[in-house]
Amino acid sequence: MTRPRLRTLGLLCALAVSALSTPLAHAGKTLDTIKQRGNIQCGVSSGVAGFSLPDSQGRWSGFDVDLCRAIAASVLGDPNKVNFVPLNSQQRFSAIQSGEVDILARNTTWTLTRDASLGLSFTGITYFDGQGFLVPKKLKLTSAKQLKNAEICVQSGTTNEKNLADYFRSQNIKIKPVVFEGFEASFKAFFSGRCQAYTTDISGLAGVRNKEAKNPDDYVILPEVISKEPLGPAVRRGDDDWFAIVRWVAFALIEAEEGGITQANIDSIKADSKDPAIQRLLGTGEDSGKLLGLDRDWAYRAIKSVGNYGEVFARNVGPNSVLKLPRGLNNLWNKGGILYAPPIR
């Protein structure tokens, strides 16, 4: 508890100091700084199963983590040249504004306010999520509309609080939010029985139920999805080159899945494929990296290090993980989802 607090303080100080110093003429090129420093500073959550979570050896894994690793592989040639900076939901925007992190991959919802007024830009959507409710099975609830006068545990500093208020106001139902600063405290209070329902993004609900509940079968997720939560990485405003790199590495992973390229078969496909689109992607055809300020193998290294989008999904939040989330909206556009990467050419 003290560490994040100290970090908040440090961040605010950093922000204050950098804001106090004489105005800078130019922000400086992020890519140059990263190459000089030799690693990418990646802002992640302080522990959300499936998205970013350190194991007992301190090794990070998760959906957001893999994206940072892919970018590091692309830019620096090594997926391990990433320094993960755990941030709580209040710190995250200050961290990207002050330059403490180069990229914010912290299951952050893309909204107008954030995009237009916080000095950052979302590079795209990597995960389509929505907010839902987890309730104990014994309450025999079948709809969120039955939550009249219920106490609902929620974490502060998220879009969830506002969605919660919006949804129940539109339904003309009064509820009592119990707002916790930490993710941990919020679900602990719910499982101890303090609240009748727990709300967060559905990916989070699945993680909490499958990882934290004593008996996951005692809890159900209600059918209502009350918001759109498009999650994606964000970068500091004003460096379009860096913005483009982050955006296109994510597209390359999606493109790889569409082209059937996996971590396992990428080398043989690279050697044999005659498809010009695949050749461009893997650097055997036209040099697509040059335009991004990278070399021709940028996408090859990204895919080789973490796999294509489908593999990243399966490993962290899909069937091969504790979350066991269905692909749903996060499937390719030609497989019933809405993932669609612009062509790499």
In angstroms, give the least distance from the CB of 236 to another protein.
8
In angstroms, give the least distance from the CB of 36 to another protein.
22
Calpha distance 164→177 (Å, rounded): 8
Q: Report yes or no: 214 and 191 within 8 Å, Cβ to Cβ.
A: yes
Question: Residues 6 or more apart from 326 whose CB is under 8 A from it?
Answer: 318
Distances (CA, A) of 71 to 239, 282, 301: 16, 15, 9
- Interface segment toward another protein; rule CB under 8 A; list 212-220, 225-233, 235-243, 321-329: 235-243
- Interface segment toward another protein; rule CB under 8 A; list 155-163, 208-216, 286-294, 332-340: 155-163
**Is 199 a binder of another protein (CB under 8 A)?**
no
**Is 232 a binder of another protein (CB under 8 A)?**
no
Q: Which of 33, 77, 188, 279 binds another protein (CB under 8 A)?
A: 188
Q: Which amino acid is at 4?
A: P
Question: Residues 6 or more apart from 248 whose CB is under 8 A from it?
Answer: 292, 344
Instruction: Say what the alpha-carbon torsion angle 323, 328, 330, 334 is, to the nearest 10 degrees.
Output: 140
Q: Which of 33, 39, 194, 322 binds another protein (CB under 8 A)?
A: 194
265, 244, 320: which is closest to 63 by C-alpha?
A: 320
Q: Which of 47, 130, 157, 293 binds another protein (CB under 8 A)?
A: 157
**Is 7 a binder of another protein (CB under 8 A)?**
no
231, 45, 69, 88: which is closest to 54 by C-alpha?
A: 45
Q: Which of 181, 212, 224, 286 binds another protein (CB under 8 A)?
A: 181
**Is 17 a binder of another protein (CB under 8 A)?**
no
Q: Report yes or no: 194 and 107 within 8 Å, Cβ to Cβ.
A: no
Calpha distance 316→321 (Å, rounded): 5
| Structure tokens, 212 | 């934290």
Q: Which of 3, 58, 140, 193 binds another protein (CB under 8 A)?
A: 193
Backbone angles phi, psi at 130, to 5 degrees: -155, 155
**Is 272 a binder of another protein (CB under 8 A)?**
no
In the shown chain, the binding pattern of residues 113 to 132 toward another protein, with x for contact by CB under 8 A and - for none, equals xx--xxx-------------
Of 43 and 307, the one with the shorter C-beta distance to another protein is 43
**Contacting residues toward another protein, per CB under 8 A:** 1-2, 12, 15-16, 18-24, 27, 89-90, 93-94, 97, 113-114, 117-119, 139, 148-151, 153, 156-158, 161-162, 164-166, 168-169, 175-182, 185-186, 188-189, 192-194, 196, 236-238
